[in-house]
Amino acid sequence: MVSNIVSLVEDGTDHDSKFVQKLCSMLFRVYAGNGVFEEAIEAFDYMENSKFKIPESLRGFKATLLSSISHSRACIPRNGVSSLSKLFTTSHPKSKSKDSDRARLHEFVHGKCKSGKIDLHEAFHFFDYMIHMQPTPPMSSFSILFNSLVKNKHYGDVISLQIRMNSVGLVPDFITLKILINCLCKMSRVGDSFVVFGALLRRGFNPDDMTFNCLIKGLCMEGRIMEATRFLKKMISFGCRPDVVTFATLIHGLCRSDNTIVALQLHEQLVNGNSKYSVTCKPDVVWYGSIIDGLCKDGFINKAKELFLEMKGRGIHANAVIYNSLIHGLCCVGDWEEAKSLFIEMLNQGVHPTTVTFSVLLDELCKSGKMDEANRLYELMIQRGVQPNTYTYSILMDGYCLVGRIHDAEKLFVSMASMGCTPDVVSYSILIDGYCKNKKTDQAMNLYREMISKGIRPTVVSYNILLIGLFRAGRVGEARKMFDEMQSFDVAPNSSTFTAFIDGLCKNDGVQDALQFFHTLANSNFELTIKIVSCLIDGLYKSGRIEMAWELFHKLTEKCLVPNVVTYNIMINGLCKKGELEKANCLLLDMEEKGCIPNEVTFGTLMRGFIQNNEKSKVVELLHKMVKRNLIPDASIVSMVIDLFVIDENYRECLNSLPSFHVQEPTRS
């Protein structure tokens, strides 16, 4: 049908693809709007086959139609509406009149639908019956049905039913249009929801605060915060008063889009009654939760604690989400003691910790290597009936690997299945990394193959771990194959991959290959990083290619790269080993001038060189520089300095020239 129409048009006019595209788009909408679904799909397929540019809104419309068609075919018997009527009566033989059918419909709508306990298939059956009833049931019955589906999150089905309702000439009322707007927003089709909003206004309906709240939430979910703010002003101009839901939604959107400080300012204005919206609003727990979470994620933990106290002062009880945000924030800034205190307060307040709560606390303990304490917390988690998830097990495995307890990590990995958790790519990668770091490369490779055999796709992190492990074990050939295999699996290498590859080649007598690979990389579109170049410079120095290393260092600015402390340390170390101590010392001055802060390694490397060269004054000068930077030399350097000075006949005078280092007393836990 569609191809025939297009052929007629093309025969009578000059071929214009844009005109044909517009024609097909119009046919699609006309057919769909009139319930001629098969022809509508044909028009869409014609556009797709002709490689026309199809708007996303049209694609979403097609998906809705397909859903509608599939449900129609499933729900409507082949011999039509009369058979559907029979379906009502045959399932209940005693019900033989239209009155009894209506009674059943009333029972379904006002009983099952209002309770929300409906079956989707049953809902479609009744809907088909309703749209063909004479007289048609009131629109309120359709609204009850739609609301019931919304409660069960069948948003797409509600949209398809409304399209079908329109196709048979039933006109939606205000409530029905509101439901449709809500469903479109829930499915991230905010553009379409505003089309319906426009239709609602053209029909002469006055939108209420719930309609505006729904659209504001939709805009916030898409990150369109400025539009949401402007729409809030429009809400007020329509005579609707924003409420706690409105502002909680806007504040949540601001925090999600990294505008937490703006959200905090809005909160303060609303609470104090001096906002530009001329509204005073009492915040709720969701409102506070959004801002506290945003402040914690942005590192403003003290401000988050202030807001937490303000919330409690208003008599608002914190929930698990707020406690989780604060505990996570405290852990991120290393304040374990306060995080632990807050967890205890949470328990005392009768707030049940969740899997997230325990996972956050376990993560902090595991990162600190406190595995015995982590185990006790894990046992408490089980005792309280909180189910660990894959992420929780991954945290514990990582902790065990960190402290070298690889056997415990293995046992935990094996036990995951019995606890109802399936290991994912992160779990596998953690254990593979543990094997590699403990020189168990064969076990790491076996686990990698097991992961692939189970259909778990390795990530770039998984491959980077294996590359480092294979190179560390001297298995260069396997590492090269792994690099190729990675690309055959369509996993794109990143800067860490190239760093591991170049570093691995350099450390396994493959500097020439690393140099060749580097040039290939430099000539591609890939943006080099200072870590990649630093690894190559280190390899060039260690293989005796001093001039090449020096030349590459001086070309960093041409590549728009800034050397970091690691790069300088590599250069200084290379120059010291070559005996060019003055040149190395000049590099220290250069890095300080350029704002690159030297560390203990920088000073230690230079001092070793000057000690071996018996240059006491230079050693003393470097030690004084360390004091100014609050750096402390390690024990080996201190021992070498003392050995250097005690053999001097004026050793007491030499020792007096040494600076005093402030050693901080260890804190008692």
Question: Quick one: what percent of the chain has pLDDT higher than 70?
Answer: 84
pLDDT-based confidence at 111, cuts 50/70/90?
Answer: confident
Locate 304 and state its tokens: 């988050």
pLDDT of 229 reads 86
Q: What is the pLDDT of residue 475?
A: 96
Hey, CA dihedral for 215, 221, 224, 228, is it positive or negative? positive
Is the pLDDT at 505 greater than 90? The verdict is: yes
- What confidence category does residue 340 fall into, taking pLDDT thresholds of 50, 70 and 90? very high
What tens digit of pLDDT does each residue of 378-416 get? 999 999 999 999 999 999 999 999 999 999 999 999 999
Task: Kindly give, in sequence order, each residue whose CB lies less than 8 Å from that of residue 184, ignoring residues fewer than 6 positions away.
Answer: 155, 159, 190, 192, 193, 196, 218
pLDDT at 123: 84
Mean pLDDT, to the nearest integer, of 548-554? 90
Q: What is the mean pLDDT of residues 303-324?
A: 94
Distance of alpha carbon 624 from alpha carbon 620, whole angstroms = 6
User: d(Cα 278, Cα 540) in Å, to the nearest integer?
Assistant: 68
Whether the pLDDT of residue 94 is over 70: the answer is no
In the block, residue with structure tokens 């204005």? 269
Give the model's confidence band at 3: pLDDT under 50 very low, under 70 low, under 90 confident, else very high: low
Q: How far apart are CA 60 and CA 409, in angstroms?
A: 46
Using pLDDT thresholds of 50, 70 and 90, give the confidence band for residue 91: very low
In a domain, 524, yes or no: yes
Token look-up 């690894």 returns 535
Residues 292-311 pLDDT 10s: 999 999 999 999 999 999 99
pLDDT digits (tens, 9 = 90+) for 511-537: 999 999 999 998 888 889 999 999 999
| Residue 558 pLDDT class (50, 70, 90 cuts) | confident
User: Does residue 290 fall inside a structural domain?
Assistant: no
Nearest to 57 by CA among 214, 211, 222, 192: 192
> What ranges in 132-284 are assigned the alpha helix state H?
139-151, 155-167, 174-186, 190-202, 209-221, 225-237, 244-256, 260-272
Q: What are phi and psi of 440, to 5 degrees?
A: -110, 65
When the pLDDT of each residue in the chain is averaged and rounded to a whole number, the result is: 84
H helices of 108-154, in order, are: 114-115, 120-131, 139-151
Contact 321, 340 (CB under 8 A): no
Task: Please report the pLDDT score of residue 170 as a whole number.
Answer: 87
The greatest distance separating any two alpha carbons of the chain, rounded to the nearest whole angstrom, comes to 122
The token pair that represents 658 in the structure block: 């040494």
Assess contact for 242 and 235: CB atoms under 8 A: yes
Segment 430-449 shows an average pLDDT of 95
Helices 190-202, 56-75: inter-axial angle, 10-degree rounding: 80
Q: Which is nearest to 26 in space by CA: 9, 44, 12? A: 44
Q: How many domains does the chain divide into?
A: 2
Which tokens hold the place of 1?
């049908």
pLDDT number for residue 514 = 94
Q: Which H or E element spans position 494?
A: none
pLDDT band at 248 (very low <50, low <70, confident <90, very high): confident
Determine the Cα angle at 34 with ends 31 and 40, to 5°. Answer: 20
- Evaluate if residue 267 carries a pLDDT over 60: yes
Confidence check: pLDDT of 265 > 80? yes
Q: Please, which pLDDT band fits residue 95 given cuts at 50, 70 and 90?
A: very low
Given a cut of 60, is residue 142 above it in pLDDT? yes
The pLDDT tens digits for 180-195 are 999 999 998 988 999 9
Q: Residue 30: is its pLDDT beyond 70? A: no
Q: What is the C-alpha to C-alpha distance for residues 199 and 176, in angstroms, rounded to an integer? A: 12
> Is residue 6 situated within a structural domain?
yes
Residue 669 in this model has a pLDDT that exceeds 50: no
Boundary residue ending a domain (11, 37, 54): 54
pLDDT of 84 over the 90 cut:
no
The pLDDT value recorded for residue 589 is 92
At residue 100, the pLDDT reads 67
338 domain residue, yes or no? no
Tell me the CATH number at 512.
1.25.40.10
pLDDT tops 50 at residue 93: no
Say which range, 25-34, 225-234, 259-268, has the weakest mean pLDDT. 25-34
pLDDT band at 468 (very low <50, low <70, confident <90, very high): very high
Burial 189-225 (b: 16+ CB within 10 A, else e): bbebbbebbeebeeeebebebebbbbbbbbbbbbebb
At 407, the amino acid letter reads H
pLDDT over 60 at 85, yes or no:
no
What pLDDT is stored for residue 103 in this prediction?
75
Query: Angle at CA 293, nearest 5°, toward 291 and 297?
Result: 115
106-121 burial: b if 16+ Cβ within 10 Å, else e: eebbeebbeeeebeee
Q: Residue 599 to residues 12, 591, 602, 613, 659: CA-CA distances in angstroms?
A: 80, 11, 5, 22, 18
Structural domain includes residue 607: yes
Which two tokens mark 104? 């059943």
Mean pLDDT score, 152-181: 89
The pLDDT tens digits of the residues spanning 632-664 come to 888 888 888 888 877 766 666 666 667 776 655
Instruction: Mark residue 621 as left, alpha or beta (left: phi above 0; alpha: psi -120 to 50; beta: remaining).
Output: alpha
In this structure, is residue 499 part of a structural domain?
A: yes
Q: Is residue 646 part of a domain?
A: yes
SS3 118: coil
Q: Give CA–CA dist 81/88, Å, rounded.
A: 11
Does the structure show a pLDDT above 60 at 630?
Answer: yes
- CA–CA–CA angle 169, 175, 177 (5° rounding): 55
- More confident of the two residues 426 and 93: 426
Domain containing residue 25 = 1-54
Q: Is the pLDDT of residue 20 over 90?
A: no
Rounded Cα–Cα distance for residues 216 and 242 (Å):
11
* Helical segments of 555-634, H only: 565-578, 581-593, 600-612, 616-628
Task: List the single range of 95-109, 266-280, 469-483, 565-579 with lowest mean pLDDT.
Answer: 95-109
